[in-house]
Structure 1
């Protein structure tokens, strides 16, 4: 019998994996309007790099408290660095700059074309042939995206094109990292794995940010520091650990499709926090997306 984390294994869908996926979706969904707000005070490289490094340090401490080894076998360093670049580094940089050009809701929607690329890549790389339910799940999810895009009157103007390309690049990188993590698993404890990947992915970003950005941390209000704390702890110490735990328990394509709840959460919270529109289009998107997630978890 092939071990569940090895290529070619058929990963079973259990309640623990779905619970971790739900935690991930909520944590990342809330973080989109939070990051959009904070970018008004701190440049993208400084913001994303600093919160990532602080999050990695907290995760490393948590791993030691839970007696999880931070030791990485020599054979795993190559795949660890690759995962850090794709899952963390590319995503943090490209999505951070995408939010400079795009509203939080539009950046979220473009970013979460990621499940399409993951499902397509999982076929040739992992042999996960898409079945009917997964195809329907993708159709439902993109019906939801279309509803939100229509409601927002999303137009690919020249001023938005850099943000669109950056968000798509981040989505492609994360999708490839998701699939390769299933093909070449690290076999590290989830908290230790998250600490290493986030630290390796974000440290160069933080250094670059402090060298070239003009950051004004003193300009952050009390609410700004509170949101900075959420972006550090909620995004990295909770959502990323839950993501790696979900990925270890679910097929790559199911895990990726399940994160389609993130743009809905991001759009709804952006409506309340940033006063972006919330109407029938967003409600229709919520219905379609949740239907897609339900289908994906039954496949």
Structure 2
């Protein structure tokens, strides 16, 4: 008889989706107080990294077990740089929808990294997602649909990096979990800090503002939310099927859309709604269980 897991794993995943779906607001609040989202991301993951090493100091020993951990760190870092920066400066709904092109990227990356050749259904999902993205990006009289600003490019890069992160997590299943988490937290802190430092040298990113209790409190609260959300994700994803996890995590789109529209950070035009419906449908389709084919969902988030 199958073990009944109850509602808690699904509720844990919903909580994680809620954290990420509403994360745009504290990032914008921090930016309004002078803290650029790159610095915010670096500081948040430094706090998470310190917490991990305090609890699992042995995680460092597994760091050298696989060179793929370095690529995982870079992919996880770019995921956070892309998403966190994009939702701070762009239309939140548009950013989240472009980020969720991830299932299309996953098909290509699984082929390259995991030798999983795409079948007809997978290619159909990719086509559906690409049509949705073309509709979202269509600017009317602007010709070919194309990213229209930095936020669009960051969202697309973040979604690709998230798909790469998931593929690498599957490839590194034999690696100790604490080593994978260390790579992801370390990558989030290192890449965001590196890009922020480079931008500071180029004069495009402002420096760290003077320490203030207001932004420090928001930053620590966001760090705690991400840390608890990650633990909730690990709890839920370990107890539910991968396709169930992926379907539940689509609630992030709902949380981000409702909160951003309510607070004036996004606009739900008919074009965005139509394209978004196709993108979400492709993501939900990719999460649906298929015979003889193991499907992969959102296994970890930073």
**TM bucket normalised to smaller:** 0.5 to 0.7
Seen in structure 2, the aligned counterparts of structure 1 residues 84 and 258 have a Cα distance that, compared at 3 Å, is farther
Residue 140 of structure 1 and its aligned partner are, at CA, apart by 8.6
Q: 1:167 aligns with which of 155, 167, 173?
A: 155
Contact map agreement 1:104 1:270 (CA 8 A) in 2: yes
**In structure 2, do the counterparts of structure 1 residues 266 and 164 end up closer, same or farther at CA, with 3 Å as the change threshold?**
same
Q: After superposition, give the CA deviation of every residue in 1:154-174 in whole Å (9 maximum; x if it has no partner).
A: x89999433212221121122
* Shift in alpha-carbon separation, 1:74–1:160, aligned structure 2, 3 A: closer
Question: Which residue matches 1:60?
Answer: 53
CA distance in 2, matches of 1:136, 1:199: 36
Q: Given that residues 107 and 167 in structure 1 are in contact (C-alpha distance below 8 angstroms), is that contact kept between their aligned partners in structure 2?
A: yes
1:121 aligns with 2:133: no
CA distance in 2, matches of 1:293, 1:158: 24
Deviation at 1:202, TM superposition (A): 0.8
State whether residues 125 and 282 of structure 2, in contact with CA within 8 Å, keep that contact through their aligned partners in structure 1. Answer: yes
For 1:70, the equivalent position in structure 2 comes to: 59
Could you tell me which of 215, 234, 254 is aligned with 1:264?
254
- What SS does the aligned partner of 2:61 have? coil
For 1:254 and 1:174, locate their aligned partners in 2 and report how far apart those are by CA, in whole Å. 18
Measure, in 2, the Cα distance between the counterparts of 1:295 and 1:77: 29
| Residue 86 of structure 1: aligned partner | 75
8 A Cα contact 1:42 1:216, kept in partner: yes
Moved more, 264-273 or 197-206: 197-206
Q: Counterparts in 2 of 1:239-254, with a 5 A limit?
A: 239-243=229-233
CA contact (8 A) 2:103 2:283 kept: no
Structure 2 portions without partners, runs of 5+: 201-205, 291-302
DSSP 3-state at the match of 2:176? coil
Contact persistence 1:21–1:246 (CA under 8 A): yes
How big is the shift at 1:268?
Answer: 1.2
Q: Do the aligned partners of 2:260 and 2:266 also contact (CA within 8 Å) in 1?
A: yes
Q: How many residues align?
A: 276
Deviations 1:207-266 (A, max 9, x none): 66468342225567x4x555323321212x123344456666778787566543322221
Contact 1:141 1:260 in 2 (8 A): no
**Distance in 2 between residues matched to 1:188 and 1:287, nearest whole Å:** 37
2:296: which partner in 1? Answer: none
- Identify the residue that residue 177 of structure 2 maps to in structure 1: 189
Query: Does 2:192 align with 1:205?
Result: yes
Q: Tell me the equivalent position of 1:10.
A: none
Judging changes above 3 Å, is the alpha-carbon distance between structure 1 residues 278 and 165 closer, same or farther for their aligned structure 2 residues? closer
Q: Alignment RMSD, CA only?
A: 4.5
Decide which moves more: 40-49 or 269-278: 269-278
Asked if structure 2 preserves the Cα contact closer than 8 Å seen for 1:114 and 1:256, the reply is: no
Deviation at 1:286, TM superposition (A): 8.2
Compared with structure 1, are the counterparts of its residues 179 and 113 closer, same or farther at alpha carbon in structure 2 (3 Å cutoff)?
same
Q: Is the 8 A contact 2:100 2:159 kept in 1?
A: yes
Q: Verify the 8 A CA contact 2:43 2:189 in the aligned structure 1.
A: yes
How far apart are 1:90 and its partner, in Å?
A: 1.0
Give, in whole Å, the separation in 2 of the partners of 1:22 and 1:137.
24
